[in-house]
Structure 1
Amino acid sequence: MGNEDFKQDKLIPIAQRSFASYEEMYRIVDFLNKTLKEKYNIMFGLTKNNKDGSMVITIYEF
């Protein structure tokens, strides 16, 4: 098991926010992960709520 696998097993959600769907939000989340993941030990996740179409962004620490 590499370091990456070990870190992802210990993701702890620290904040979550729901907002209206924005088609290219995944690009912002990708940018944040590439920029902040290694320096601050945080990671961003993005999901879409299929019931109302809203997006949910979650910030994790590891």
Structure 2
Amino acid sequence: MGDKIEKISTVTVESTPDLYKIVDALNRSLKYDDLMFGLALDENHENKMIFSIYRT
């Protein structure tokens, strides 16, 4: 992994209990393609999450 992380895309989605499993699967399968995925709670909307894609 390099020193610089570039955010490629961000999207706000509805929160679901298993959403983290998708992010985990993406991170495990695409880490060698220099991609990283993130999931965070949306502070402004309690039922939303922010999904982000990064190039590492």
- The TM-score range, normalised by the shorter chain, is 0.7 to 0.9
1:58 aligns with 2:40: no
Matching residue of 1:34? 28
The number of residues matched between the two structures is: 55
| Higher-Rg member (1/2) | 1
Q: Percent same amino acid at aligned positions?
A: 35
TM-score, normalised with respect to structure 1: 0.78
Q: Which has the higher strand share?
A: 2
- Cα deviation for residue 23 of structure 1 reads 1.3
Higher RCO, Cα 8 Å, sep 6+: 2
Q: Compute the TM-score of the two structures, normalised by the length of structure 2.
A: 0.86
List gaps (5 residues or longer) in structure 1.
Answer: none
